[in-house]
Amino acid sequence: MTPLVLTGAGVSIEDVAAAAREGCKIEVTATVIEKLGQARKVLDDAAAAGQQIYGLNTGLGANLGTAVAGDAAAFQRQLLEGRSAAVGEALPVQMVRAAMFARLAMLSAGGSGLSPRVFIALVEALNAGVHPVMPSLGSIGAGDLVLMTAIARMLIGEGEAEYQGRRMPSAKALMMARLVPVSLAPKDGLSLINASAVSTGAGALALTDALSALDQQQQAGALTMEGIGANRTILDPRLHLARPAACQQLAARALRDLLARDEAPPPTTLQDPLSIRCMPSIHGALIQAIDHARLAVEIELNAAADNPLVLADDALVLSTGNFHTASLSLAFETLGLAIAQAAAACAARFIQLTGSGRNGLPKYLSPIGGASAGFVPLQKTVTAILAGIRHKANPVMLDFLPVSEGVEDHAAQTPLTVAKCADMVALWRRLIAFELMAAAQAADLREGPTLAPATGVIHAAVRTHVATLKEDRPLGTDAEALHAALANGAWQA
């Protein structure tokens, strides 16, 4: 696997996924190390000249006015120990790796003043697979420092780490990986933790999942159009040129490509229900929301988000609010609403397919009729899942209290907005599995034209995991199998 090379710019959400999920190795250019060294010198010179520098020779938060003197390394250790306040279930290893890589990307942009040797130690730990045990609760989105202390403490040999699938003291994990704990120079501890790397890394992973679910949703929607005999004139490019809103032209084009064939079948209706007829508008809005969230995440990945910030070219050290992620949180709140809208339409199409019969389809998609339940019991499950999505779509970014004696009186709740968005993607993918099952059954029951080449492949992929329903059986088990394929990369369509 080709290594990821940090240059100080150009890091993408796909890079985060490669580092977090595929174990891709990290390399760093000499220019980045040189830039870190320059910033470190500016920081040290400013401190030697007597400048007050937050977190270097002052306390943090409400202790801003408290001067710090004496053993700088001891203060950095005290800083980390005093802010190790996170609790709750440990984050999965892939999310910890995403946070470690995100922080490295941000640090590569310059401006932290972090000692180059500490930066290299973080690269080596990630490459060696030494991951701190990071509790999940404690950040309110004004920087993830309470969570990030786990990374910094691991580098100095404190706390616990995961290595080769085992949980152990960090010092032991470093020793087994043939690494040694680092000592921290002034501000090194704060430089490691005072950024939103957990939120940013998790956001990148959520977006990669949303992109794959979007592709699967387009496939399910196209197969539904085949199964229900939908009127395909809704995909005419001239209609979407007349109202070029929110990427709906892209969504319509993707559906047209999936349904393309030499001769399209005649429509069975003049107009279909809105969940079918308005798919390009609904999916287009989702594409736009994903694009906006990608921009927000990739700005964070490639930006200097430190406080204070070292401006090496100007030989200045200035306080900032760059750690604050209001725009990132808002992007994921918006994305959550867009996902909820697409999921609601997906559920509505399932109800249309599995109801009393539409466009010549048998009641409940049952081939035997009579007292057969067919697909209709799954309507309850679909409704329950959609309720879970709607619940998570409620905004949380305004839910904060002033803390630290009122000094920190605003927050964006970014970790929570990202986490609930990721949960919504997972639930939405379950609805996609239901729609694919129902659409494939409808295609099997419909008499008339064969499927288009692309929708034929989608249908075959469904049938790889779920057989045609011929008599009542536990469809929940089938839905679990298809969902697993969609979620774990086994889906081939």
Domain termination residue (choose one: 195, 221, 242) = 195
* Main-chain phi, psi angles of 397, to 5 degrees: -70, -10
Decide if 468 is inside a domain. yes
Q: Compute the distance between CA of residue 393 and CA of residue 54 in angstroms, rounded to an integer.
A: 37
Domain termination residue (choose one: 178, 195, 212) = 195
What is the per-residue pLDDT across 411-448, written as a single tens digit (0 to 9) for each? 889 999 999 999 999 999 999 999 999 999 999 998 76
Same domain flag for 364 and 227: yes
Query: Please, what is the angle between helix 326-354 and helix 197-228, to 10°?
Result: 20
Here the CATH number for the domain that contains residue 160 is 1.10.275.10
> How many structural domains is the chain composed of?
2
Here the CATH number for the domain that contains residue 377 is 1.20.200.10
Contact 150, 133 (CB under 8 A): yes
Same domain flag for 325 and 456: yes
Decide if 184 is inside a domain. yes
**pLDDT computed for residue 54 by the predictor:** 75
Same domain flag for 407 and 428: yes
Same domain flag for 237 and 135: no
Same domain flag for 110 and 55: yes
What is the per-residue pLDDT across 196-212, written as a single tens digit (0 to 9) for each? 999 999 999 999 999 99
Indicate whether 167 pLDDT > 80.
yes
Domain that holds residue 266: 202-488
**pLDDT computed for residue 127 by the predictor:** 98
Domain termination residue (choose one: 175, 195, 215) = 195
Q: Compute the distance between CA of residue 97 and CA of residue 17 in angstroms, rounded to an integer.
A: 9
Mean pLDDT of 122-145: 93
Three-state SS at 58 = strand
Indicate whether 487 pLDDT > 70.
yes
Rounded percentage of the chain residues whose pLDDT exceeds 90:
73
Decide if 333 is inside a domain. yes
Min mean pLDDT across 60-74, 175-189, 258-272 is at: 60-74
CA distances from 226 to 107, 336, 437 (A): 50, 28, 13
Decide if 493 is inside a domain. no
Decide if 19 is inside a domain. yes
